[in-house]
Amino acid sequence: MAWLEREKAPIAKSERIDTPDGLWEKCVNCSEIILKKELNENLNVCPKCDHHYPLPVWERIHSLCDDGSFVEADGNLRSSDPLKFSDSKAYSKRLEEQHKKTGRWDAFVSGKGTINGRPVHVGVFDFQFMGGSMGSVVGEKIARLFMRSTAEKVPAIVVSSSGGARMQEGLVSLMQMAKTCAAVSKLRDAGVPYISILCHPTTGGVAASFAMLGDINIGEPNALIGFAGPRVIEQTIRAQLPEGFQRAEYLLEHGMLDLISHRDSLRGTISRVLDILAANIAKS
């Protein structure tokens, strides 16, 4: 019993050096404890169960585009408050708070970069900014992205993660569904490829408009994709939905997605898809 022969008493609780807070993360899916550094290095994918956590905007862009190639566009666009909307606080106040929180003026970052040397126009939703909701600025930036792609004959890639239309802008927000779809139509008429990446969650007016109109629609594993949430649908139709309903795998099985790509292989998948589409366009 070596502990009886210790010359020094055990360390008192007040003297202990505990592991610093914030080093570990408990996976919401498998409940395993993960080193946060390992999670970050794995593109926010659990190394134990492959659960895909949200990926911050700039990390997403850097994971897709060649190093140093991305140049942001329309970064100065800011939402106004056309309805002077107020619930528990004024919409203008919410926008100010979101800007302080994220450093961005709205829920979408767009620009031009390259993927394996191929020029692309890329747009990524920021779910942390008001749930990635689509208001007038988000819709305008998406439409501009498609119009630039059309004019320059450069493929468009949009990574969606959104709760849908922004209620604080009312009908102005809903109009963005039609505007973005019209821009996709012009892109399609010009024969320019559009790849839509649907992440968790992609719902509401975003899912009901441009997000499902890609030439190729790619989902991330287990992403929730659909117009209304499963609970709302069950309460409306008073029936139990199939297991996995509105998850990426269910949509793939039922023809609503073209493929599902793990995050660490997404860049390569996009590059191969663009090669195939470019070859087909050249043949035609």
- Name which of 262, 136, 109 is nearest 199 in CA terms: 262
- Name which of 52, 99, 48 is nearest 76 in CA terms: 99
DSSP state of 46: -
DSSP per position, 75-86: TT-----TT--B
pLDDT tens per residue, range 66-95 = 999 999 999 999 988 889 999 889 999 999
What is the location of CATH 3.90.226.10 in the chain?
Answer: 54-283
Give pLDDT, residue 11: 52
pLDDT tens per residue, range 99-151 = 999 999 999 999 999 999 999 999 999 999 999 999 999 999 999 999 999 99
What distance in Å separates the CA atoms of residue 123 and residue 277, rounded to the nearest whole number?
A: 20
Give pLDDT, residue 231: 86
pLDDT tens per residue, range 159-211 = 999 999 999 999 999 999 999 999 999 999 999 999 999 999 999 999 999 99
Between helices 136-152 and 170-189, what is the axis angle to 10°? 10
DSSP state of 92: H
The C-alpha angle 183, 184, 187, rounded to 5 degrees, equals 90
Query: Token pair for residue 24?
Result: 């570990």
DSSP per position, 118-154: EEEEEEEE-TTTGGG-B-HHHHHHHHHHHHHHHHHT-
pTM for the model stands at 0.88
Q: Quick check: 10 pLDDT over 80?
A: no
pLDDT tens per residue, range 14-38 = 554 454 567 898 998 999 999 999 9
* Third-level CATH fold of 54-283: 2-enoyl-CoA Hydratase; Chain A, domain 1 (3.90.226)
